[in-house]
């Protein structure tokens, strides 16, 4: 396998909405370079990129796939990504290691919802962008409208490099404004014939060429001076200016394509070779704790892992980018995330499912290795010496959380082990266990993401599972004071049980005065693990209850607070004053006073105007301005309190306080209301009182469950 030097390696990521032709373009690029002898088709399930059973079943990309092609002494590493937003966990790592984004637009759909969503992620990484307008051979293709939409959505940096002479079924000619020539393709595509620009296109081509020259010149003072002197730049000068514009993100060059008919891919690859930046030319990487790492061929060996693939026979395959230096087989590297040393046993170039061994990989290149012991996605491996840790990958929070259970209880352990394995491949699958509700929760990006998770569990791990909505973590408290007493008396053969407790409970609040009319002998404040406080007072006088039994009374109170009297939810913010009671010199013991304390607390709680509390979330919903009305109406139906509305470009940010119980599967509803354009984030705000009607319903339901049990 040929080893390319760092200056001749380019890394691109193919991005865009579902169905825009990313996988077809990747296949065409490999075919044009002669790396494959026959172009596969997504419909025929034989492309290099979409090679998994799941992708064949779905008929679209599910995973990001690494490929490479070679064009005129350059190596182009390609990462083909899925176009569905639920699969953003595949897209973000690819963005992290790519040096140039190729954003694909569908010429008969223009800028789609998926394109906008991908663009939001691209903005965070500030990579150079090339725009490919694909499917210009579609009967409804409209290049000019697509460009107008691109400028509206992405700004004035959108720069036409090429335009089609005709569109639709007759598409076969492209005017190139950098070379000022026309490419004419045969019906089967492939290498075009170069011809002069027709007289009928001269005027338009010259106007657009001048705009391109000005765009190239504006990025460099020297080029600007040359332009003022000559009113023109030569081709090499324009390449320099365009590269600088791409690096500054003031220029997004536009190329014309029909990936299916193999038209335009060679010119695109040539531009990537000659103009798109190599890793060596990209800004230095930020390090955790400060400092930067330059991508240097002669620097220390540093790898950044961006994807983990689990194969039945090979085990864990770790994909990485060489961020500096070079790596060879047998190299020992320190994992800065875990502190362990890993030996790079074998090195591979990845092309879909195929692995091709290589002796070494140099700065800027992308490769893979197997059988790393303690290395996961987004880890930094480097030569021993000073610490080097690259910034991690920021994955989005789950938009949907569901309870997951194996349909066969005997397979619960197997399910958990399988979920941990899947999480290594897909960090946007988030596993949590709620001790409060005793439920295993799985977080995902949406319904599609969950369905793919279920498919993997069924087909790869032979575990069937079911999803359900999680229980809401309610809290219980009281709104007034109440007193109660309870005598526990039990007589059996031999010693019996006896304990009597008199106590009073009050709603607790910060800074409340000491209990009135009681002599305080002891006070304990307990910060509860589920939030809030329990303040426990020992106000016993005259020794009616021995001090040694007070911990048992407290234990009984805490046990009932852990599963409150209303719905079995934790109670909070209560003051308990134990002021009287009785004991027996023989029959009193710890268990007697624990039971007496628990029962007295339960009775007092039920008499203290008990109140159920629900978690309230701070919600920020981002929606297109023209769809805000429908979203607001839906939010108000969810008992939301609107706190404000801000503008952000073409979007409105709606800020609300919304009960968590009203947000079950909200991501699905929001996507439906906004045709996929709406997004939201949430965080815990506070606990607030549940409306009386809802409280009555929840309490009644809990009682029915207890009776049934």
Helix (H) / strand (E) element for 96: namely helix 88-97
What sign does the dihedral 498-504-509-511 (CA atoms) show? Answer: negative
CB 193 within 8 A of CB 184: yes
Domains and CATH numbers, the chain: 6-281 (3.40.50.300), 285-382 (2.40.30.10), 400-468 (3.30.70.870), 476-608 (3.30.230.10), 614-694 (3.30.70.240)
**Span 560-615, pLDDT tens digits:** 999 999 999 999 999 999 999 999 988 999 999 999 999 999 999 999 999 999 99
Q: What is the pLDDT of residues 271-282, one digit of tens each?
A: 999 999 999 999
CA distance 153 to 327: 41
Angle at which helix 221-230 crosses helix 199-217, to 10 degrees, equals 140
CB-based contact 624:650 (threshold 8 Å): yes
Q: Where do the DSSP E strands lie in 326-478?
A: 326-328, 331-335, 341-344, 348-351, 354-357, 360-362, 366-370, 380-382, 400-406, 430-434, 439-444, 465-468, 475-478
What's the pLDDT at 343? 94
* The predicted structure's pLDDT at residue 1: 63
- Contact 366/299 with Cβ under 8 angstroms? no
pLDDT confidence band for 496 (50 / 70 / 90)? confident
293: three-class secondary structure by DSSP: strand
Q: What mean pLDDT is predicted for residues 614-638?
A: 94
Residue 141 has pLDDT above 80, yes or no: yes
Please state, in angstroms and as integers, the Cα–Cα distance from residue 327 to each residue in 2, 109, 301, 302, 363, following that order: 15, 44, 6, 8, 9
* Residue range 7-35, pLDDT digits in tens: 999 999 999 999 999 999 999 999 999 99
SS (H, E, C) 169-229: HHCCEEEECCCCEEEECCCCCCCCEEECCCHHHHHHHHHHHHHHHHHHHCCCHHHHHHHHH
Q: Residue 466 has what pLDDT? A: 96
Distance (Å, whole) CA 642 – CA 218: 46
Q: What share of the chain is helix, strand, coil (3-state, %, to 5)?
A: 30, 30, 35
Tokens of 626: 């023209």
Write a three-state SS string for 504-551.
Answer: EEEECCCCCCCCCCCCCCEEEEEECCCCCEEEEEECCCCCCCCHHHHH
Residues 153-176: pLDDT tens digits?
Answer: 999 999 999 999 999 999 999 999
Which residue in the block uniquely carries the two structure tokens 């897209």?
91
Question: Among residues 228, 165, 225, 155, which one has the least CA distance to residue 200?
Answer: 165
231-274: pLDDT as tens digits:
888 889 999 999 999 999 999 999 999 999 999 999 999 999 99
Q: Average pLDDT for residues 480-505, to the nearest whole number?
A: 91
Mean pLDDT of the chain: 94
Q: How far apart are CA 520 and CA 531, in angstroms?
A: 26
| Owner of token pair 């409208």 | 145
Q: How far is CA 534 from CA 254, 284, 554, 555, 559, in A?
A: 65, 53, 10, 12, 12
Give residue-wise pLDDT tens across range 424-448: 999 999 999 988 888 999 999 999 9
Of 217-226, 618-627, 654-663, least confident by mean pLDDT is 217-226
Nearest partner of 30 among 16, 7, 51, judged by Cα: 51
Q: Are strands 331-335 and 341-344 parallel, antiparallel or unpaired?
A: antiparallel
Quick check: 330 and 343 in contact, CB under 8 A?
Answer: yes
Q: Encoding tokens for residue 479? A: 């709104």
**Sign of the dihedral defined by the CA atoms of residues 141, 145, 147, 150, in that order:** negative
**30-46 pLDDT per residue, tens:** 999 999 999 999 999 99
Give the pLDDT confidence score for residue 709 in this predicted structure: 63
**Structure tokens given for 295:** 């991508």
pLDDT of 3 above 80: no
**Structure tokens, 304:** 């950044």
Task: Characterize the bridge pairing of strands 315-324 and 181-184.
Answer: unpaired
- 10-37 exposure pattern, b = at least 16 Cβ within 10 A, e = fewer: bbbbbbbbbbbbbbbbbbbbbbbbeebe
> What is the rounded distance in angstroms from the CA atom of residue 141 to the CA atom of residue 167?
6
Long-range contacts at 420-425 (CB < 8 A, ≥ 24 apart) = 421/310, 421/461, 422/453, 422/456, 422/457, 424/308, 424/310, 424/316, 424/376, 424/377, 425/308, 425/309, 425/310
331-335 and 380-382 strand pairing: antiparallel
Q: What Cα–Cα distance (Å) separates residue 683 from each residue in 398, 571, 647, 670?
A: 12, 22, 20, 17
Task: Read off the pLDDT of residues 77-91 as tens digits, 9 standing for 90 and up.
Answer: 999 999 999 999 999
Average pLDDT over residues 538-559: 95
Assign residue 612 a region: left if phi > 0, alpha if psi is -120 to 50, beta otherwise?
beta
φ and ψ at residue 429, rounded to 5 degrees: -85, 115
């Amino acid at each position: 396998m040929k080893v390319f030097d760092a200056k001749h390696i380019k890394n691109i990521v193919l991005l865009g909405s579902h169905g825009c032709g990313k996988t077809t373009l990747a296949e065409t690029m490999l075919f044009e370079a002669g790396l494959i002898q026959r172009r596969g088709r997504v419909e025929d399930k034989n492309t290099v990129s979409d090679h998994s059973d799941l992708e064949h079943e779905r008929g679209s990309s599910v995973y990001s796939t690494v490929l490479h092609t070679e064009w005129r002494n350059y190596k182009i590493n390609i990462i083909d990504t899925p176009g569905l937003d639920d699969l953003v966990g595949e897209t973000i790592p690819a963005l992290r290691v790519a040096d140039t984004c190729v954003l694909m637009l569908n010429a008969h759909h223009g800028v789609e919802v998926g394109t906008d969503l991908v663009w939001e992620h691209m903005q965070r990484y500030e990579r150079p962008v090339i725009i490919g307008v694909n499917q210009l051979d579609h009967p409804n293709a409209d290049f000019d409208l697509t460009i107008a939409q691109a400028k509206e959505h992405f700004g004035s940096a959108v720069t036409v490099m090429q335009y089609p002479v005709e569109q639709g079924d007759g598409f076969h000619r492209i005017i190139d404004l950098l070379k000022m020539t026309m490419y004419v393709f045969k019906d089967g595509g492939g290498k075009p014939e170069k011809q002069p620009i027709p007289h009928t296109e001269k005027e338009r081509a010259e106007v657009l060429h001048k705009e391109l020259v000005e765009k190239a010149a504006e990025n460099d003072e020297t080029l600007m001076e040359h332009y003022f002197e000559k009113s023109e730049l030569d081709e090499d000068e324009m390449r320099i200016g365009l590269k600088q514009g791409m690096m500054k993100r003031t220029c997004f060059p536009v190329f014309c394509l029909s990936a299916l008919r193999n038209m335009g891919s060679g010119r695109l690859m040539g531009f990537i070779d000659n103009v798109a930046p190599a890793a060596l030319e990209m800004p230095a990487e930020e390090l955790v704790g400060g400092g930067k790492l330059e991508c240097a061929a002669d620097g220390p060996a540093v790898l950044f892992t961006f994807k983990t693939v689990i194969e039945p026979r090979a085990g864990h395959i770790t994909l990485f980018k060489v961020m500096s230096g070079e790596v060879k087989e047998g190299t020992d590297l320190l994992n800065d995330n875990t502190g362990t040393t890993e030996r790079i046993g074998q090195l591979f170039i990845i092309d879909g499912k195929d692995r091709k061994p290589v002796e070494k990989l140099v700065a800027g290149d992308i490769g893979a290795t197997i059988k790393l012991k303690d290395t996961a996605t987004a880890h930094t491996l480097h030569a021993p010496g000073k610490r080097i840790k690259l910034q991690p990958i920021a994955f989005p929070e789950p938009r949907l959380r569901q309870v997951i259970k194996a349909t066969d209880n005997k397979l619960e352990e197997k399910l958990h082990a399988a979920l941990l394995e899947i999480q290594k491949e897909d960090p946007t699958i988030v596993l949590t266990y709620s001790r409060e509700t005793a439920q295993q929760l799985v977080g995902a990006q949406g319904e599609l993401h969950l369905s793919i998770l279920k498919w993997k569990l069924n087909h790869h791990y032979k575990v069937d599972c079911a999803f359900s909505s999680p229980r809401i973590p309610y809290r219980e408290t009281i709104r007034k004071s109440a007193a109660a007493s309870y005598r526990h008396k039990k007589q059996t053969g031999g010693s019996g049980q006896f304990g009597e407790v008199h106590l009073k409970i009050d709603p607790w609040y910060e800074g409340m005065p000491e209990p009135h009319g009681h002599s305080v002998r002891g006070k304990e404040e307990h910060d509860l693990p589920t939030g809030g406080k329990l303040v426990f007072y020992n106000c016993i006088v005259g020794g009616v209850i021995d001090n040694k039994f007070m911990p048992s009374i407290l234990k009984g109170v805490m046990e009932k607070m852990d599963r409150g009297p209303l719905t079995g939810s934790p109670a909070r913010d209560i003051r308990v004053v134990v002021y009287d009671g009785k004991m027996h010199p023989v029959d009193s013991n710890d268990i007697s006073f624990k039971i007496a304390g628990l029962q007295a607390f339960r009775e007092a709680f039920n008499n203290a105007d008990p109140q159920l509390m629900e978690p309230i979330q701070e919600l920020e919903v981002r929606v297109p301005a023209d769809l805000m009305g429908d979203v607001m109406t839906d939010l108000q139906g969810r008992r939301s309190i609107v706190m404000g509305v801000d503008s952000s470009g073409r979007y409105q940010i709606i800020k609300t306080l919304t009960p968590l119980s009203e947000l079950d599967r909200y991501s699905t509803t929001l996507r439906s209301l906004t045709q996929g354009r709406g997004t939201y984030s949430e965080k815990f705000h506070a606990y607030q009182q549940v409306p009386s009607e809802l409280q009555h319903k929840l309490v009644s339901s809990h009682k029915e469950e207890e009776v049934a049990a």
